[in-house]
Amino acid sequence: GLLSFTDISMQFSWEEWQLLDSVQKHLYRDVTLENYSNLVAIGYHGNKPDLIFKLEQGKEPWIINSKVSHQSCP
């Protein structure tokens, strides 16, 4: 089948992002932007993902995962 950006990308929750040091965060930004650029170069025609917009603007790329269940206090 066709390759999509979600097939080659990794997204972090806020909690996961906080565990990375600055070198790891910088590497993540570089690799993710390069992977997206390579995907476009081989013919990817999908919409630019929000993650790429965030990284290009220097914003934190973490996501709020709606699938994560929040534990309630008893």
61: burial class by Cβ within 10 Å (0-12, 13-18, 19+)? buried
In the numeric block, which tokens belong to residue 53? 């917009």
pTM of the model: 0.75
The per-residue pLDDT for 52 is: 92
Q: What is the DSSP letter of 71?
A: P
- Per-residue pLDDT tens over the stretch 13-72: 889 999 999 999 999 999 999 999 999 998 888 889 998 999 999 998 876 654 444 444
Vertex 26: Cα angle to 19 and 58 (nearest 5): 100
